[in-house]
Structure 1
């Protein structure tokens, strides 16, 4: 079922989510609602959606990955790499060339250039309740971190303030800088 997405001013988005004890019909129904809700988002189009954004205080989110959608339940960060040698260094160089503005379906049409880890490894349960360990880099790592923030009651604008970075609003095909207080 398509659910309304809570907007940034909703206090529910500021609450920490509870861990899922068992992947049952209730959780499967929430996952279906997340997928149904994400797929209809067109302006802007979303790449991830967390249960708190549809009013469910559970540690569940979905994200688009390639041509599929993955479900992440009770994620635990195992490893984060910001800089270094090898793969992370190559990723860092690549990202320096193309900055990605981060946005959120709970704050549509607003974007900001956040610094996020370039590589992240997490342990989580998939939609069938099976434990997975996966690594993500580049934009996918950014999505994972953004969605985990939602599970902690943190919005991307909090990170923008923390990093003293600008916020932009996309209006009628134009970018306008917005002052954060």
Structure 2
């Protein structure tokens, strides 16, 4: 079922989510609701969706970007690395880079964020199996953004903390807006 996505002003998005205790049919249906809801987001398009964004205070999110699809339940961050690894010992690791980040709960607003280059997370997949996986680059950014939602954090909180700009997009026009 397609659910309504809560907007950033909704206090539910500021609550810390609770772990999934029983991996049952209700949870499976809810995961399907997340998938259905994300799949219809075209303007703007989304690459991830967390349970709090559709009104459930559970530690569940999905990611779906160009063949990268994950269902993540009860994620636990194991390791964060700020350098990307490259093949070949002669090359030095590249620094992480800024990516314009947005959110379906704050549609048409974007800001430059520099998140970790790699993150290792332990979680349950949609079958309830425990998985430990390392994500890099944009996929790592998606995972960190969605984990933030489970902690009651929005991407604009990082922009405020880092004194970075926020842009509102209207068609082809980008306008810097005040963060308050």
Give the alignment's TM-score, normalised by structure 2.
0.93
* 8 A contact 2:59–2:150 mirrored in 1: yes
Spell out structure 1 runs of 4+ moving beyond 6 A: none
| Residue aligned with 1:116, SS | coil
Q: CA RMSD in A?
A: 1.7
Look up the match of 1:28: 28
Larger relative strand fraction: 2
How far apart in 1 are the matches of 2:165 and 2:107? 16
- Uncovered stretches (5+) of structure 2, i.e. residues with no partner: none
39-48 vs 171-180, greater mean Cα deviation: 171-180
How far apart in 2 are the matches of 1:69 and 1:84? 21
- Uncovered stretches (5+) of structure 1, i.e. residues with no partner: none
Look up the match of 1:168: 167
1:110 lines up with 2:109 in the alignment: yes
Residues 10-62 of structure 1: CA deviation (Å, up to 9, x unaligned): 00100110000121101101100000000000011000000000000000000
How far apart in 2 are the matches of 1:83 and 1:146? 18
The structural deviation recorded for 1:100 is 1.7
* 8 A contact 1:91–1:137 mirrored in 2: no
Larger relative helix fraction: 1
The structural deviation recorded for 1:101 is 0.3
How far apart in 2 are the matches of 1:16 and 1:85? 32
| Residue aligned with 1:120, SS | strand
The structural deviation recorded for 1:65 is 4.4
1:136 lines up with 2:135 in the alignment: yes
